[in-house]
């Protein structure tokens, strides 16, 4: 067994009598986890699955799926966590195995249409190293298929960090979710808390029951939390940190969170599926200025766009050209504003910018303004084509009260926007929705039309 594999098991063995995982209404210790990992390792060996093989599964975080995932990594396999409702994505990969983690069954996948083998994947498999394949959210089209060397992902967890009882808010097929999982298992005095559903109504009782300390999530979920007011009925005072990322935080929403949770530290994070989650430092609790980097990352800004170079860069895309330049830098696509002492404000993705007669508009700026209106519970701004202007702005709104005729409310919202925004930034159309939807990654999917 390689030193890397020993490292995982040794770290898991340090606190074997402590509660380490909460799953399906019960706690599991390190000893329980190690026993379950060994059970899956024996199953992998029984099936004579060779190192470097691709092995897939479609499950949310739970005790068994986590145990299998770690067993696959320890056995130097390339693990593929599939979105539960998108199992067909496996058709685009030369994967021969699918695991039902709940029944301990490993199925050999039937031969499908011939798949052109990607040279990056072929060369990586020859190394017989543990790997990870994830799919991007695909908000702008078909998902990118991303290959990671798991050794590089694991390296950032070899330095001792504070441990927390952490809710696994992001899903198994999300690199941010795997980041939280590893931190919850490999840091001292930490615990991974699995969730069957990610709604405020389900999450708050679990926080209360497990005395969770860290809630890593998205602004979209946090807005839903405020709207629900469930936290007023269920004690969530055990929370020490709420970290947020994956999409831009509206300043107006941040203000509401500070007011409602004055004793909880609010921390902005930043990362991409291509290189993982970076270390971050907030300028202050009330500011969205952030400094990103850390010992494994370098950053630079060109034309107000953030570029990152990382020791944990992905191996490459399996369905697209490699995005790195010859020096290893990747264009994140995020537009930023520079401040003093290395701090930046993330403005939004370049492909989300709305062009109105040559003027650039960030949808998040308008959303933040709309959330200041007391009758607006949630807002989602995006672009659509316009025959004269090229593009125009659509605002979908969820209001705090339901009624049959919203004409007066829309007039009030439009007039507010006219007072507060330049004419070209005022949405040309306001649509009232009963509820704004989020995807399984707890964020709005921007409509790129």
Confirm if 20 and 191 have CB atoms less than 8 A apart.
yes
Domain that holds residue 71: 3-153
| CATH number (domain holding residue 117) | 3.40.50.12780
**Boundary (domain end) residue, out of 153, 174, 192:** 153
301-339 residue pLDDT tens? 999 999 999 888 899 999 888 888 888 899 998 999 999
Q: State residue 449's pLDDT score.
A: 46
| Residue scoring higher pLDDT (205 or 352) | 205
173 belongs to a structural domain: no
H helix or E strand, kind and range, residue 21: strand 19-23
- Say what the pTM is: 0.87
- What average pLDDT does range 258-287 have in this prediction? 90
Q: What is the DSSP letter of 351?
A: G
Give a yes or no: residue 280 inside a domain. no
Q: Of the ranges 10-24, 255-269, 285-299, 428-442, which one carries the lowest mean pLDDT score?
A: 428-442
Is 362 contained in some domain? yes
More confident residue, 14 or 212: 212
Q: Cα-flanking dihedrals φ and ψ of residue 154, to 5°? A: -70, -30
Q: Is residue 37 part of a domain?
A: yes
Domain containing residue 379: CATH number: 3.30.300.30
**Per the domain annotation, does 445 fall within a domain?**
no
In sequence order, the 6+-apart residues with CB closer than 8 A to the CB of 317 are: 120, 144, 145, 146, 147, 323
Q: What is the pLDDT of residue 341?
A: 87
pLDDT in tens, 146-182: 999 999 999 888 888 888 999 999 989 889 999 999 9
Work out how many domains the chain is built from and give that number. 2
* 325, part of any domain: no
Q: Do the domain assignments include residue 292?
A: no
333 vs 418: CA distance, rounded Å? 30
């Amino acid at each position: 067994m390689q030193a890397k594999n020993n490292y995982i098991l040794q770290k898991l063995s340090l606190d074997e009598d402590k509660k380490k995982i909460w799953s399906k209404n019960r706690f599991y210790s390190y000893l329980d986890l190690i026993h379950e990992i060994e059970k899956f390792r024996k199953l992998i060996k029984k099936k004579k699955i060779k190192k470097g093989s691709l092995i897939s599964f479609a499950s949310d975080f739970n005790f068994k799926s986590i145990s299998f995932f770690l067993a696959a990594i320890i056995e130097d396999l390339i693990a593929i966590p599939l979105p539960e409702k998108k199992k067909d994505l496996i058709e685009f990969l030369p994967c021969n195995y699918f695991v039902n983690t709940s029944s301990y069954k490993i199925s050999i996948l039937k031969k499908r249409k011939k798949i052109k083998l990607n040279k990056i994947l072929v060369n990586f498999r020859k190394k017989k190293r543990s790997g990870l394949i994830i799919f991007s959210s695909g908000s702008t089209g078909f998902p990118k298929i991303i290959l990671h060397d798991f050794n590089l992902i694991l390296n950032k967890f070899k330095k001792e960090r504070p441990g927390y009882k952490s809710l696994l808010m992001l899903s198994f097929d999300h690199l941010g979710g795997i980041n939280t999982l590893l931190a919850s298992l490999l840091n001292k005095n930490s615990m991974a808390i699995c969730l069957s559903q990610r709604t405020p109504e389900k999450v708050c009782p679990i926080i209360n029951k497990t005395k969770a300390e860290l809630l890593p999530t998205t602004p979209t979920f946090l807005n839903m939390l405020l709207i629900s007011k469930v936290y007023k009925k269920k004690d969530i005072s055990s929370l020490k940190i709420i970290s947020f990322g994956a999409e831009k935080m509206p300043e107006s929403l941040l203000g509401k969170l500070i007011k409602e949770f004055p004793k909880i530290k609010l921390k902005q994070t930043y990362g991409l599926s291509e290189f993982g989650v970076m270390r971050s430092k907030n300028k202050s609790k009330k500011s969205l200025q952030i400094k990103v980097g850390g010992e494994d990352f370098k950053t630079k800004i060109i034309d107000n766009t953030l570029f990152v170079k990382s020791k944990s860069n992905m191996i490459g895309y399996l369905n697209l050209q490699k995005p790195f330049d010859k020096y290893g830098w990747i264009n994140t696509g995020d537009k930023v504003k520079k401040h003093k002492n290395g701090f930046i404000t993330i403005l939004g993705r370049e492909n989300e910018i709305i062009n109105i007669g040559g003027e650039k508009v960030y949808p998040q700026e308008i959303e933040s303004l709309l959330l200041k209106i007391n009758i607006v519970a949630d807002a989602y701004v995006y672009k659509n084509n316009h025959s004269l202007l090229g593009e125009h702005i659509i605002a979908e709104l969820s209001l705090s009260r339901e009624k049959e005729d919203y004409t007066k409310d829309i007039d009030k919202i439009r007039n507010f926007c006219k007072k507060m925004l330049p004419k070209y930034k005022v949405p040309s159309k306001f649509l009232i929705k009963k509820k704004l939807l989020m995807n399984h990654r707890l964020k709005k999917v921007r409509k790129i039309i």
